[in-house]
Structure 1
Amino acid sequence: MRPETLYQRNRQTPDRLNNSLRRTYDLLRSTLQNGERSVSLVEGELTDALSASRNTVRAVLQQLARDGLVTRSPKRGTRSERQFLLKINAIGPVKDYGNPDEQIHTQLRTLEYQTLGCPQMVRERLRLPTDWSVLMIENLLAQEDAPLGLTVSYIALGPGLSRDIVVDEPDPILFLEKHFGVRIVGSTTTIGATAADAQSAKLVGVELGAPMIFLEDILEDEAGRPWALSQCRMRSDRVAFSACAQRKQTA
Structure 2
Amino acid sequence: MTRDVSRPAARLASPTFSPLYRQIKDFLIRSLEHGEWGPGDAIPSEGELAVRFNVSQGTVRKAIDEMAAENLLVRRQGKGTFVATHSDPRSFYRFLRLVPDGGKVMPTVSDPFCCETVLATPEVAAALGLKVGDKVVHVKRLLRFGGESVVLDEIFLLAELFGGLTLEGLRAGERSLYSLFESEFGVRMINAEERLRAVPADGQSAELLGVQLGEPLLLVERTAYTYGNKPVEWRRGLYCTRHHYYRNELG
TM-score range (shorter-chain normalised) is: 0.5 to 0.7
Cα shift at 1:117: 2.5
CA distance in 2, matches of 1:191, 1:160: 26
Question: Which residue identity is paired with 2:170?
Answer: E
Query: Given that residues 97 and 106 in structure 1 are in contact (C-alpha distance below 8 angstroms), is that contact kept between their aligned partners in structure 2?
Result: no
Counting only pairs closer than 5 Å after superposition, residues 232-251 of structure 1 correspond to structure 2 as: 232-246=237-251
CA distance in 2, matches of 1:203, 1:160: 26
CA distance in 2, matches of 1:166, 1:204: 21
CA distance in 1, matches of 2:203, 2:167: 29
Query: Given that residues 189 and 218 in structure 1 are in contact (C-alpha distance below 8 angstroms), is that contact kept between their aligned partners in structure 2?
Result: yes
CA distance in 2, matches of 1:160, 1:189: 22
Q: Report the equivalent of 2:192.
A: 187
Q: What whole-Å deviation, never above 9, does each CA across 1:10-45 have from its counterpart, x for those lacking one?
A: xxxxxxxxxxxxxxxxxxxxxxxxxxxxxxxxxxxx
Distance 1:161 1:207, change over 3 A: closer
Distance 1:160 1:237, change over 3 A: closer
RMSD, aligned CA: 2.9
Question: Which residue identity is paired with 2:124?
Answer: V
Cα shift at 1:231: 1.1
Q: Report the equivalent of 1:146.
A: 148
Question: Which residue identity is paired with 2:94?
Answer: I
Question: Which residue identity is paired with 1:219?
Answer: A
CA distance in 1, matches of 2:131, 2:115: 22
SS state at 1:107 partner: strand
For residue 208 of structure 1, the aligned residue among 204, 213, 218 is 213
Q: What whole-Å deviation, never above 9, does each CA across 1:208-240 have from its counterpart, x for those lacking one?
A: 111111111101112211100011101121221
CA distance in 2, matches of 1:155, 1:167: 17
Q: Report the equivalent of 1:119.
A: 121
Counting only pairs closer than 5 Å after superposition, residues 1-251 of structure 1 correspond to structure 2 as: 91-92=94-95, 104-128=106-130, 132-158=134-160, 161=163, 165-169=166-170, 172-246=177-251
Q: Report the equivalent of 2:13.
A: none
Q: How many residues align?
A: 153
SS state at 1:91 partner: helix
Distance 1:225 1:201, change over 3 A: same
CA distance in 1, matches of 2:161, 2:224: 20
Query: Given that residues 144 and 151 in structure 2 are in contact (C-alpha distance below 8 angstroms), is that contact kept between their aligned partners in structure 1?
Result: yes
Query: Given that residues 107 and 145 in structure 2 are in contact (C-alpha distance below 8 angstroms), is that contact kept between their aligned partners in structure 1?
Result: yes
- Structure with higher Rg: it is 1
Cα shift at 1:145: 1.0
Distance 1:185 1:213, change over 3 A: same
SS state at 2:249 partner: coil
With 166-175 and 225-234 compared, the bigger mean Cα shift is at 166-175
Query: Given that residues 126 and 229 in structure 1 are in contact (C-alpha distance below 8 angstroms), is that contact kept between their aligned partners in structure 2?
Result: yes
**So what's the TM-score if we normalise by structure 1?**
0.53
